[in-house]
Structure 1
Amino acid sequence: MKNLRPAAFALTLLCIPLLNCGGGSATSAASKPAPWTLVWSDEFNAANGSLPDSTKWTYDIGGKGWGNSELEYYTNRPINASIQNGNLVIQELKETYTGSDGVTRNYTSARLKSQNLFQQTQGRFEARIKLPAGQGMWPAFWMLGDNIDRAGWPACGEIDIMENIGSEPSTVHGSAHGPGYTGGTGVGSQYSLPSGQPLSADFHLYAVEWESNVIRYYLDSTLYETITPASLPAGSPWVFDHPFFLLLNVAVGGDWPGSPDATTVFPQTMLVDYVRVYKRASK
């Protein structure tokens, strides 16, 4: 695994297939390749057992369902989030756990965020991830507007770079949410690997390119969705005009994926090789 320094780094979309992101890559229908400059990254190359870098990540902690009827308790324990073999490992456990708030859940996981540590308006946001598997798993790589504490959700905006549910092992979902297009009415699309291979079988590159009045969604080198203001319901505002911060998490259960069942194997893990954020290179 290459340990990149947070310095200028040129990338074109033609480079993406070289990242060895698994067998699901397909010919991109992307716009003409253009250079990007790396402005922030986490390569997760710290010593085994290390906690995530506290200068880059903090945690959401709790187990009250998170508005989605989720079944896990998110903790900041190393057993739920740590560095192993050059990856961030978010581990989902089946265990009875009671948090400091008195809430007891039968599953634990972790939800990391860069809130108040890193946020950016527009750019390319990508992560190389190997997903967990099994009924009830709900991994995600996503972003929220940094004004969430003032404006609330959904006025702050949400960009879901990658969501997957265990009952759809080969399918990635990408979407955007704002006032008038939230939850199940969010604007977006999905893409399934042509091979039918589950996304949990290998690492894949999940990315968005967010520019003025457009958000493009990629799985490996495949562009599978483009969202513009014209994509939104009539009269709905385009709220993607301010800084957003990053989140990585795995929910267990919830309204969308449903609960784990007898076929679900624990523990499960989501492995994150790296997260990288780019700005357009100066012309």
Structure 2
Amino acid sequence: MRIFTLILLLFVSFLTTNCGNSKSKSSTQFNNLIWSDEFNDDGPINSEKWFLQTQLPSGGDWYGGLVNHYTNRTENSYVKDGFLNIVAKKEIFNDQGEIKEYTSARLNSKFAFTYGRVEVRAKLPTGIGTWPAIWMLNKNIDEPGAYWQKQGFGTTYWPVCGEVDILEHWGKKQNHVQSAVHTASSAGDDVVNIGGQVVENVSNQFHIYSIEWSEEKMVFSVDDVVHYTYEPSVRDSETWPFTTDQYLLLNIAIESDVDPSFEESAMVVDYIRVYQ
């Protein structure tokens, strides 16, 4: 009887451990590190790996009614003590004939890849109106001022090119992190390919934000806990423009409903690693 009871307890424990959680653990098929930035050298960002995108879109505002300039100044992006700091600041800044009251930075990677796993260990800014993101765009996007556009690859408009949001976080929804996939069939305010989870202390503790991108699907997770899988039943140009190279972007946007008392906050990144 005791042996039967022990077996029963072990079986119940197995069910609880493996079936009791609504979120699953991620697994990986990508283990070969092909690109990274460990941010070990203090000073400006590594210009061999990153491009600071500053050119305003036509109309003088960044998409979504943002109220910030992106700059290439070290006040808004720098490396110190082994960490990348992307800093959003409240300050009057005049650039390209436009005066704005907030500044930040938007980094484009000079590396692009097709399929793999991305891991970013980061702490997020805080404050209503802050909108940090770790994401990817196809290097064929037609976006004047972007790095790959300047290299002659800009042929396709958003969202047809495809966008992958590994992480988004809004200060007005503190600790709720979100991932999304934008395509011709799901974009902007009408995006339906979306998922997220609540993660404690995203602004005070480091967490690992990840995507696994294969030929069939994309799996998004935080600290290996999966919160969204994008796996369309039909993969065509409308739903799956993800068969060619994408590049990484990191930025903090400032929304128009920013808290008037906001002064400064940073996204702090320990490392970025890409595996295939």
Which of 85, 91, 96 aligns to 2:87? It is 91
1: CA distance between counterparts of 2:240 and 2:105? 30
Identity percentage over the alignment? Answer: 35
Which of 149, 156, 161 aligns to 1:151? It is 156
- 1:18 maps to none
| Aligned positions of 1:183-198 closer than 5 A | 183-186=188-191, 187-193=193-199, 197-198=200-201
Residue 92 and residue 159 in structure 1: after superposition, are their counterparts in 2 closer, same or farther (change >3 A)? same
Q: How big is the alpha-carbon RMSD for the aligned residues of Structure 1 and Structure 2?
A: 2.0
- 1:20 maps to none
Runs of 4+ in structure 1 over 6 Å off: none
The answer to whether the 8 A contact 1:88-1:272 is kept is yes
Aligned length: 240
CA-CA distance at 1:180 after TM superposition = 1.8
CA-CA distance at 1:84 after TM superposition = 1.2
Q: Letter of the 1:76 partner, please give it.
A: N
Deviations 1:81-122 (A, max 9, x none): 0011111101111111001x11110000000001xx210001
| Aligned positions of 1:199-278 closer than 5 A | 199-230=202-233, 236-253=238-255, 258-262=256-260, 264-278=261-275
The answer to whether the 8 A contact 2:220-2:227 is kept is yes
TM-score by length of structure 1 reads 0.80
Which of 79, 103, 108 aligns to 1:108? It is 103
Which structure 2 residue ranges, 5 or more long, are not aligned?
A: 1-20, 142-153
Aligned to 1:199, the other structure's residue is in SS state coil
Residue 94 and residue 231 in structure 1: after superposition, are their counterparts in 2 closer, same or farther (change >3 A)? farther
Which of 167, 171, 177 aligns to 2:176? It is 171
CA-CA distance at 1:188 after TM superposition = 1.3
TM-score by length of structure 2 reads 0.82
Which structure 1 residue ranges, 5 or more long, are not aligned?
A: 1-25
Q: Specify the structure having the higher radius of gyration (Cα).
A: 2
CA-CA distance at 1:28 after TM superposition = 6.5
Deviations 1:24-74 (A, max 9, x none): xx9972355545110000001102xx1111110001104533221001000
Larger deviation, residues 132-141 vs 223-232: 223-232
Residue 268 and residue 32 in structure 1: after superposition, are their counterparts in 2 closer, same or farther (change >3 A)? closer
Q: Letter of the 2:212 partner, please give it.
A: E
